[in-house]
Each structure stands twice: as C-alpha cells, then as structure tokens.
Structure 1
Amino acid sequence: MTDQELPPPGPTPESAALQVEWQKLTSDNLTSVRESAGKWRDGLAAQITLVTAGLVVSGPDKIGDLPTSWQWGIAGGLVLGMLLVLTGLLLTVAVAAGTPKALTFEDFKELGGDRVAANALQATVGANRLKLARRLAVPGIVLVLLSIGAWLVSPTEPASSLQVTTADTIYCGELSSGDGGVLTLKLNGESQPTSITYKDVVNAAIVESCPAPRTPR
C-alpha cells in the first residue's frame, strides 16, 4: 500500500479536547451575547425613562422661553438623539430575547447537522446586531446630553414688563391679570401683587426692564 492510499490519521486526544472546548465556547458565546444585550437594553431603557421624565417635569413652557433658533436646535437634537437611542434599544431587545425562527431540515443540513454551528450562527448575528446598537445608541446618548447642556446654558428671551403711571406713583412689574377693571402687577421684591384700577392709570407702557418696581412721582 502506497502513502497515497493510506487513510487519513484519526483525531488525536489533543484535537478531540480542542474540539470539545471549541463547542463549549461556541455554546457560551450565545449566552454571553444575550446577557450583554440584556445589560445594554436595561441601561438604554433607564436612560430613555430618565430623559423623558425630565422633559415632562420641565415642560414645554421652559423651552418656549428660548429664542427660536435655540428652540429648533435643542428640539432637533433631542428628537434625533432619542430616535438613535430608541433604535439601539430595539436592537438590543431583539438580541436579548432572540429571534424565534423555525429551522427547517434543509437549513439544518446546510449547517452540517450541527447544533453547535446553529448556535454559533445565532451568536454571530446577535453580536453584529449588538455592535450596530452600540454604534447608534452611543452617539444618540451624546447628542441628547449635548442638547440638554445647550438647554441649560441657552439664553432666555427677556420677559416684557408693564410700567404703569398713576397720579402719585410709577409701578413697574410683570402683568399677571387685567380683568375686572383692575391691573394686577407682580413687583420685584414684593411678595404680594399690586392692584391698580383703570381709572387711576395715567399712562401704561411695555418696557424691557424695570429700573425700580415702585417710584414716587
């Protein structure tokens, strides 16, 4: 019998042990990927909840105090950032929960009839999805944080004040009511609002700032 007719050598104890370890590692990879996706899912969900709660508490009236250009920039950053984070969250949910799919016999044959190969394929797909989720979620988180930071340092449009002149006093403050023939002003430094009847008003003008809340004439 020539060398070409010799059967291939059988597996050695070392190669058999290596195959067992590879199968074990492959099986653990799927569990590891899903556990990692679960942690990312929980973190992203908590981040979305925190940001949403903060926006609800702050209210749209707060952003309404900003100049128009800042409103559009901050709102656009928040929306785009939250969309990126939400997309990443959905991908991590899909990886953590798995994607149930009926494996046909033909599909199983294409994988060599090996359960380990099937798990390895799922682990690879899950790892790729998790990588994509991180690439979307991390910039989304940064964008949300930058938008919130811009919100905190953004200038607010100065509120107009009303200056009301009577026969003996000039009042200047924020108009809170004008019903029933009475002007009600909130004067800076005074806890109680000041009421002025229309018949006592000599002049009224909108001003950007008040040099003094109450000035005798």
Structure 2
Amino acid sequence: MTLQLRPGPSAGPADAARARYLHQVLREELSKVRAAAAAWRNGLAGLLAALVGFGLVKGRTEIGKVAPPWDIVIGVLLLLALLAGAAGGLCLLRAANGPPRLTPADAAGSPLTQDHLRVVGALTDLRRGIAGALLCGAFLVVAVATTWYGPAKEPLRLRVQLPGAALCGRSEGIAHGILVLDTGAGKVKVDMTRVVTLQPVEECP
C-alpha cells in the first residue's frame, strides 16, 4: 500500500490570525501565571499572619482553657497549619519569581519554548502552593473551632488544711471571711480564720 502526500490548503487570514493569537498567548502565559502566584502569595500571607496572631498572641490564653488532651490536639493542628503554610509559601514564591538558578547560555530552543518550559514549572509550583494555602486555612479553622467548642478545662480545686482535718473542692466564693467549698459530697462553709494552709490543686485526692 502506497501513501501519497499532497500539499495542504494554503494558509488564509484566519490561519494567520490564529497563529498570531497563539503566539501572543504563549508570550503572556508566564506573566499571567506569575501574577496569579503573587495574588495567592498575598492571600497566604494573610493566613499566616492570622496563624501567628492566634498562636502567639491569644494561643496560650485560649488553649489553656481547653481540657487535655485537646490542648495537645490544637497545638498539633497549629503546627500542621504552619508547615503547610510554609511549604505553600515557598512554592508560591518560586512560582511568582522563578527558581533560583541560572539559564544556560547555550540553551536549546526558541525563547518561546524556554518561556513555556518556565510556565510549566511555575504552574506546578502554583498548584502546590494553592494546595498548601488551602491546607493551612483548613488546619487553622479546625484548630480555632476546637479551641472554641472543645471541652472546657476543669477549674482548679482548693485544698484547705484545717487543724486536724483537710478539705478539698471547688471554691464557690468567699464572703465575710467564710469560704464556701463544693467538695462533691456537698457544700462546706470554712472559717478562714481557722485555715492553716490553702493550696490550689489540679484535682482532689
């Protein structure tokens, strides 16, 4: 079987316009990908600022109110959010500015081909950066939600040493020198003038 090759139809104005459009798209795609990466980078910076603000400014106060082991869970979630944000930020920086490497002087291919290869790498980094930003936001939301709606930490108990006896329970307040102590078996009124020692404890024996 013999195949015969014949010349195709001559290029017309539509073919020339399509070629010009494709050439323009190839020239502009690198700048568009890097602009998108810069926008995502700015959004991720806001998430990281919220993460740092919650973790350092309010973290110790808010997390300290949550019962164990949920406080450890919140700490792990914040750490995962930080790691995801850092990895996503590095990918977005590389997508927006290009990898820190030199282009060989004898690089083969046209400038458009080289730019397209850069676009492929930048788009891969952009997708990874977006995934990191979304993971960072998800971990941060779960950590904040756990802090707000997790089980509250039990308040400290008071161990009151009296002459010849010891009481332990949750304080209900002091009025007129009388401490009201909820021992679990009932409320006991303690005259503060008879107290030898007063010690806060995590739980009663």
TM-score using structure 1 length? 0.68
Q: How big is the shift at 1:63?
A: 2.2
* 2:45 is the alignment partner of 1:45: yes
Contact kept? 2:68, 2:153, Cα under 8 Å = no
Deviations 1:44-87 (A, max 9, x none): 11110122122222142542343331111111111012211221
Deviations 1:145-190 (A, max 9, x none): 1111101122122222355879x953258xxxxxxxxxxxxxxxxx
Contact kept? 1:88, 1:132, Cα under 8 Å = yes
Match of 1:133 among 129, 136, 145: 129
> What is residue 170 of structure 1 aligned with on the other side?
178
Distance 1:100 1:14, change over 3 A: farther
Distance 1:206 1:101, change over 3 A: closer
Contact kept? 2:33, 2:122, Cα under 8 Å = yes
Q: Distance in 2 between matches of 1:5 and 1:75?
A: 69
Q: How big is the shift at 1:5?
A: 9.0
Q: Distance in 1 between matches of 2:11 and 2:153?
A: 76
Distance 1:115 1:100, change over 3 A: farther
Q: How many residues align?
A: 175
> What is residue 177 of structure 1 aligned with on the other side?
none
Q: How big is the shift at 1:203?
A: 5.4
Q: How big is the shift at 1:13?
A: 3.3
Match of 2:155 among 143, 154, 158: 158
Gaps of 5+ in 1: 174-195, 209-217
Cα RMSD over matched residues? 3.0
Q: How big is the shift at 1:36?
A: 0.5
Contact kept? 2:88, 2:133, Cα under 8 Å = yes
Alignment of 1:25-104 (within 5 A): 25-104=25-104
Q: Distance in 1 between matches of 2:95 and 2:54?
A: 29
Distance 1:48 1:202, change over 3 A: closer
> What is residue 147 of structure 1 aligned with on the other side?
143
Paired residue type of 2:77: G
Match of 1:120 among 116, 121, 144: 116
Q: Distance in 2 between matches of 1:118 and 1:30?
A: 10
Paired residue type of 1:57: V
Distance 1:138 1:8, change over 3 A: same
> After TM superposition, what 4+ stretches of structure 1 lie above 4 angstroms from structure 2?
4-11, 162-166, 202-208
Alignment of 1:17-28 (within 5 A): 17-28=17-28
Q: Distance in 2 between matches of 1:14 and 1:90?
A: 43
SS in 2 for 1:94: helix
